[in-house]
Structure 1
Amino acid sequence: MKKNITIGSLSFLLPLISIAQDATQSPTTQTATTQVMKAVASEGFSLESFTRGVVGMITLLFIAYLFSSNRRAINWKTIGIGLALQLSIAIGILKVGFIQDAFDFAGSIFVLILDFTRAGSQFLLGNLVDTNSIGYIFAFQVLPTIIFFSALTSLLFYLGVIQVIVRGMAWALSKLLNISGAESLSVTGNIFLGQTEAPLMIKAYLAKMTRSEILLVMIGGMATVAGGVMAAYIQYLGGDDPQMRLLFARHLLAASVMAAPGAIVVSKMLCPQTEQFSNDSHVSMENVGSNVLDAIANGTTEGLKLAANVAAMLLVFVAFIAMINYFFNWVGYQTHLNNIIASNTPYNGLSLEMILGTVFSPIMWLAGIAKEDVMLMGQLLGIKLSSSEFVAYTQLATLKDMTSAPHLMYNKSIIMATYMLCGFANFASIGIQIGGIGALAPNQRKTLSQFGLKAVLGGTLASLLSATIAGMIIG
């Protein structure tokens, strides 16, 4: 005999329905709101910020030392000069007027490119470009930025502009830090190009590279981001505010430049150079196009592939995070953990973000983050490692909004997060590098696979070094 199902008989499901609604409301689906409050401003360099910064740097270097394949072979002169160079870049960008002006000028070019992209997007998409929903901003402003910047980068590469800049920086790094010409080219190329595009410049050298050189090529790719996605982050974090876009442009550019010596420092600790290497540094010009129009077309095609990949990746990872959070929320509800967590942490209940924040909060504190923000910063690092920096930046865009709950309390935390997340170091990048670099040098595929996890560690440590140094100077 069938029973009649009533609303009352389903009452036990009501809490689960509420949990499902909470779990599926990702920060990327919320509507952007105007900030009415501001994060606590930084007070400037102080003895406390210096001490916290030094402790953080020593901790990060000690982690690299622990995982070194040959501790006795570490060239401490290279490590010292690399750190001094990274510190000098940070001080110059954050404190020296004319260097700040130079980076602001470079940042203004990025902002101008965003305006050019917006003109193209408005022609194609009309009023959809002006919608304030975060989802619309991403789909109709951020993704077109990736496509246009990819085409522009391809054009600049065809014209030889990028090669001139890269050669100059590579020569300086090679002489200062005693590294090979090819690996210095790859590391500096990563400031502008992606983790599989920069190695194209040294294709002729990849097959003969030593293990130490290969690891630096990998870490250099994971410690930086490509110019196209950097422009997208500027758009995403700065929104329509010209001053905010210029601010984040300066810090993202600084993070990319600082990452070059940082990647060298960490890489040469994890796998010191013990073999002979060559100082040759000829830039390969393959696959750049037969003429200007062909170069632009190739760049557009590659940008479209990258934009589609980013969009699909975000869709899948945000959905998976929502699914995982549904399960964790249910567990928290059944065990009454949600109430305990809500009373003692910035989170409303048990979630993936809460777990990652707890795991990584100690290293965030050592890096100089205020205790009120350590869990949220740990969350961002964990999300970046487990999914991608794009997903982490979407969460940062929400966490920097003082009207959202939870949110970062200190401006210093927001700036440090900008540096910390500026890199491709995540588990998915292992496969990308094995496939991309391995196709250029099949004999190195085994070495690439052996170094996968170490490269993720190295890229993460390099980004954290940049964030720690920036935080120490900001105060």
Structure 2
Amino acid sequence: MYFLMNVLGIFVVIGLVFALSPKKREVKWKPIGILIAAELLITWFMLGTKIGGQAIGGFASFFNWLIACANEGISFVFPSVMANEQVDFFFSALLPIIVIVTFFDILSYFGILTWIIDKVGWVISRLSRLPKLESFFSIQMMFLGNTEALAVIRQQLVVLKDNRLLTFGIMSMSSISGSIIGAYLTMVPAEYVFSAIPLNCLNALLLASILNPVQVAKEEDIVYVPPKSEKKDFFSTISNSMMVGMNMVIVILAMVIGYVALTAILNGILGFFIDGLTIQKIFSILFSPFAFLLGLSWKDTMYVAQLMGIKMATNEFVAMLDLKENLNTLSPHTVAVATTFLTSFANFSTVGMIYGTFSSVLGDEKSSMIGKNVWKLLVSGMAVSLLSAMIVGLYVW
């Protein structure tokens, strides 16, 4: 029964997004079918084969090594803190981001990351027959994050029409940045984090082509390549990367502290009027139909629905910290779908980040298109996370 509910959930999510699409007649189902088939194959390979499991183990080991290297630098500055048996979230999960951001920028500087993005983006474009720029952008988001990926293609965004710009805004809701993976691995199982990454990338492309399908002429189907004149010297690049990483740490820290505190304030106000009422309980009711479609028992449905609400209202870090405390009490299927759902940037604050990026790159007039379609961004972000979780859930029971 639970497996059938999980399968049904996939069709329900795609059906709901299609129902909300203002351009139903323009939706091309063949590329969508190809992408779903590719996702099922990728997930089976990662979670159902020995080679896939070894690959995930290798990636996890690599990121753990990067975190260990980062801890060397943190220990130099905070030796007494890092010597403790239990290290605070700020030191164990956030500060390593500085090193990981720098590492990814070094890969980009020498063209290694660019080469990977180009090749994988080309494969996705050829496989799905969807536009090249959108296909490449989905891969860029996977490694660089949404705002960074938008900055990379900023010269091409300037000449795109509004309806196509909206596609990039919709897709931006479903990204994560490679630099943040290390922080996730300190809280939730690695195999589901690494499974979610490519699925989110493909599902962002898939659902954007349903929610906002666009027709791209052959002469317009090109990918912007930054000129060499934009390239800085190596030491300026890594120094800037470290500052970017530190800024990211501060932003995440401020958001976690602020949102947790605001949640406590809101719970206090709700409890004043109705004893025992919390925002978590409200979210668990609102999101329970979607959580039930993940193939969960009723008890786990209410808990995962609560995590969904926390993620959408605050961010995935707050929800992952909660999940981390309950991993040992949940079934393997529940852990798999919950972790996969949480592995993305889809929440209300991300809408603000996307709007801010569009505004800085394109100006207020063109960026107003994002403000008028916030609901599409939120629907896409929620649907991508659900679809990725449902596909992973098919293979873990």
Q: What is residue 120 of structure 1 aligned with on the other side? A: 73
Alignment pair present for 1:430 and 2:381: no
RMSD of aligned Cα (Å): 1.9
Q: Is the 8 A contact 1:138 1:236 kept in 2?
A: no
Residue pairs, 1:21-420, within 5 angstroms: 48-131=1-84, 136-237=87-188, 248-276=189-217, 278-284=220-226, 290-333=232-275, 349-402=276-329, 409-420=330-341
* Local SS of the residue matching 1:280: coil
Q: What is residue 473 of structure 1 aligned with on the other side? A: 395
* Local SS of the residue matching 1:236: coil
* Local SS of the residue matching 2:394: helix
Q: Report deviation, 1:397.
A: 1.6
* Local SS of the residue matching 2:299: coil
Alpha-carbon distance in 1 for matches of 2:261, 2:22? 38
Which stretches of structure 1, 4 residues or more, deviate above 6 A after TM superposition? none
Q: Is the 8 A contact 2:284 2:302 kept in 1?
A: yes
Alpha-carbon distance in 1 for matches of 2:298, 2:229? 49
Alpha-carbon distance in 1 for matches of 2:248, 2:307? 23
- Going from structure 1 to structure 2, the CA distance change for 1:215 and 1:81 (only over 3 Å counts) comes to farther
- Show structure 2 runs of 5+ residues with no match: none
Residue range with higher mean Cα deviation, 287-296 or 148-157:
287-296
| TM-score calculated relative to the size of structure 2 | 0.94
Q: Is the 8 A contact 1:131 1:137 kept in 2?
A: no
- Going from structure 1 to structure 2, the CA distance change for 1:287 and 1:118 (only over 3 Å counts) comes to farther
The one-letter amino acid paired with 1:446 is S
Q: Report deviation, 1:280.
A: 1.6
Identity %: 25
Count of paired positions: 395
Q: Report deviation, 1:427.
A: 1.2
Q: Is the 8 A contact 1:182 1:205 kept in 2?
A: no
- Going from structure 1 to structure 2, the CA distance change for 1:303 and 1:463 (only over 3 Å counts) comes to same
The one-letter amino acid paired with 2:336 is I
- Show structure 1 runs of 5+ residues with no match: 1-47, 238-247, 334-348, 403-408
The one-letter amino acid paired with 2:62 is I
Alpha-carbon distance in 1 for matches of 2:227, 2:375? 31
| TM-score calculated relative to the size of structure 1 | 0.79
Q: Is the 8 A contact 2:341 2:386 kept in 1?
A: yes
- Going from structure 1 to structure 2, the CA distance change for 1:450 and 1:178 (only over 3 Å counts) comes to farther
Q: Report deviation, 1:305.
A: 0.5
Alpha-carbon distance in 2 for matches of 1:286, 1:142? 35
Q: What is residue 42 of structure 1 aligned with on the other side? A: none
Q: Report deviation, 1:77.
A: 0.7
Q: Is the 8 A contact 2:200 2:384 kept in 1?
A: yes
Alpha-carbon distance in 1 for matches of 2:352, 2:169? 11
Please identify the structure whose Cα radius of gyration is greater.
Answer: 1
Greater share of residues in helix: 2
Q: Report deviation, 1:212.
A: 4.8
